[in-house]
Amino acid sequence: MKKTLLLLLFIAAFFNSLAQSDKQVEKGLLKVNALLPGASYELGAGRNTTFNFDVALVPGGGTDYYGNSRFGLFIGAQAEFRYFANFNRRLSKGKNIEGNSGNYWALNNQILIGNPLVGTYYLDNTYNHIVAITYGIQRTRPKGFYWNVSFGPGVAISESDAGGAIMIDVKLGWVVKKIR
């Protein structure tokens, strides 16, 4: 089911990009994230649509059975398809849409690998995956500083469990390269 939904999403984005020639989104944005150290690449797909890919180092910690503190540094990855819904309204009010500054709806996929790169804190599962429909706000300042907040309902999936989840994603960083 997930593969079919993802395939339909990619096909819709492809035909949308063929039908629209006057894109309002940037062709590409390379971003460095400061809140969770990592990098993002946002690829313009259609007039108001993008694909966003993130990789980050995610800290985690807790205690073991004996009460000893444990720490781990994990790899997290995210891929999302974004539809920016308010570009025309922002332009009519004289506001900036450069750097894909706008409000968007997204199909968001996040995965966290359970074995740490560094440390002795292991997650109960080898992976933790969240699929969510999110609403987000992204703003890019003229000197490249950007922030992004998104949230929405989703499904959390691991080897041993699946259930409802709320996704909240916050990013702060800098746009280091714009591809026009």
Taking only the tens of pLDDT, the chain with its 180 residues reads 566 555 556 666 665 555 445 788 999 999 999 999 999 999 999 999 999 999 999 988 888 788 888 899 999 999 999 999 999 899 999 898 889 999 999 999 999 988 889 998 877 788 889 999 999 999 999 899 999 999 999 999 988 889 999 999 999 999 999 887
Predicted TM-score (pTM) of this structure? 0.80
Q: Give the separation between CA 31 and CA 100, rounded to whole angstroms.
A: 12
Give yes or no for a contact between 136 and 116, defined as CB atoms under 8 angstroms apart: no
| 63 is a domain residue | no
| 163 is a domain residue | yes
Range of the domain at 50: 2-17+26-58+70-179
| 143 is a domain residue | yes
Predicted local confidence at residue 52, as pLDDT? 97
Whole-angstrom Cα Rg for the chain: 18
| 155 is a domain residue | yes
DSSP element (H, E) containing 58 = strand 49-63
| 65 is a domain residue | no
Predicted local confidence at residue 157, as pLDDT? 92
What is the dihedral angle through the alpha carbons of 121, 32, 88, 108, rounded to the nearest 10 degrees? -20
Nearest to 34 by CA among 161, 163, 128, 171: 171
| 110 is a domain residue | yes
Predicted local confidence at residue 20, as pLDDT? 47
Q: How many CA atoms lie within 13 A of 19 on its CB side?
A: 8
Q: Give the separation between CA 154 and CA 166, rounded to whole angstroms.
A: 6
* DSSP single-letter state for residue 17: H
| 6 is a domain residue | yes
Look at the chain and report how many structural domains it folds into: 1
| 140 is a domain residue | yes
